Amino acid sequence: MQETAHNTNIRQQLTSYKRELTGQLSNILDYWLKNAPDSVNGGFWGQIDNENQVNPGAPKGSVLNARILWSFAAAYNQKPDEAALQMAHRAYEYIITHFIDHEFGGVYWSVDYRGHKLDAKKQVYASAFTIYALSEYYKASGLEAAKNQAVDLYRLLVDKSYDHDRTGYLEAFTRDWQPINDLRLSVKDANEKKTMNTHLHILEAYTNLYRIWPDERLERQIEVLIDNFCNYFIDAQTHHLVLFFDEDWNRRSHTVSYGHDIEAAWLLLEAAEVTGNYTRQARIKKICLEIAEATRKGLDADGGLWYEYEPLTQHLIKEKHWWVQAEAMVGFFNAWQISGDEKYFNLSVNNWAFVKDRILDKQNGEWFWGITADSHVMPGQDKVGLWKCPYHNSRACIEIIKRIEKGTL
């Protein structure tokens, strides 16, 4: 009787979780539908602030546009809706017209507000997100050109970026795929040739591409990427991720990124599952739980997950960013599904409660970039921008809704 009542309580919580995330997903999509399209120059505005004020002259980023494409295609694939599909069409057409380099291949990092190429470097991270988005869009639209473009970008990355001698992918190149001095995604990053962040999203992209194009060589690339995480990116002692390496896989950082830890804790398993290798899946499940357990050290008492920790100086960056919370919701839910340990389910639900209380912008819509240690909204941050996109939070909603619908008890 007690066990039945307990299971009933869990099911009620799942029902409530799904209902709330369904509503939140709708709110997120509505915000972007209403505010993001650039009615003057086409595509989407490059920057909108917390008060929903548009900066009409802001550059437009390839990552932002790819993430918009993925979010609306994924939302349509979960629940067909013509408005979502039309938003995906808009993103797709803008990417193909303005971001794809039709001369040298690959994806421009940014264009100006009119759609003219601005930063033409080939950041592998941007190509990965475009592959990820095009694959999702193909599932929504059935458009062969989208699938073909995703495959072409994949082949180009293997040709130009993959390190055939040491494995792994090199971080960035000039427009015509020559070596470049500044490899960084952003000014806060180390200027190193192999980064965890880019590899994680290449893995994510290849996983999604494999769903629509189960190619044997692509499968091998996925397996090698998983091995790269097991052999290099996951610290065997701490179970945190190592963020930067040089070309020869020599470690170049000690920073702990709690958001990337918990994001990897479910993306790695997703990649292992798509290829159907059950032995590999069992190994990855164990690793994912180890990462999730290590990530718990970054949780605050209010359920929020801190941003980063510097172990060499014992300095905790006491900020709680929107994307970190979104990944915590999924990552801990995934840990519960693997282990059956309800502490992880509670961590996911508690993190969502924190998001509702502190991260949702109840006045202007969408999610704040983050809050400070004293629970104030971080000033001067984007609501829409090169990095502030609908991907992390819409994906958290979509992923958890999907998992609940499949059944978890």
Is residue 406 exposed (0-12), middle (13-18) or buried (19+ Cβ within 10 Å)? exposed
Whole-model pTM: value is 0.97
CATH of domain 254-409: 1.50.10.10
Task: Residue 65: name the closest of 389, 381, 394 by CA.
Answer: 389
Tens digits of residue pLDDT in 29-68: 999 999 999 999 999 999 999 999 999 999 999 999 999 9
Torsion from C-alpha of 206, 172, 96, 398, nearest 10 degrees: 40
Domain spans of the chain, in order of start: 61-247, 254-409
Q: State the pLDDT at residue 3.
A: 59
313-343 burial: b if 16+ Cβ within 10 Å, else e:
eeebbebbbbbbbbbbbbbbbbbbbbbeeee
Asked if the domains 61-247 and 254-409 are classified in one and the same CATH topology, the answer is yes
Q: Reply yes or no on whether the pLDDT at 171 is more than 90.
A: yes
Domain 61-247 falls in which CATH fold? Answer: Glycosyltransferase (1.50.10)
The region that residue 249 occupies, defined by phi over 0 for left and psi between -120 and 50 for alpha, beta otherwise, is left
CA proximity to 262, closest of 136, 392, 385:
392
Mean pLDDT of 357-379: 97
- Contact between 150 and 134 under an 8 Å Cβ cutoff? The reply is yes
Cβ count within 10 A of residue 15: 11
Q: What is the pLDDT of residues 389-404, one digit of tens each?
A: 999 999 999 999 999 9
Region 337-344 average pLDDT: 97
pLDDT of residue 2: 55
Tokens of 334: 């995934």
Query: Is the pLDDT score of 112 beyond 90?
Result: yes
Q: Among all chains, which residue has been given the structure tokens 């809706």? A: 81
- Over residues 200-259, the pLDDT tens digits come to 999 999 999 999 999 999 999 999 999 999 999 999 999 999 999 999 999 999 999 999
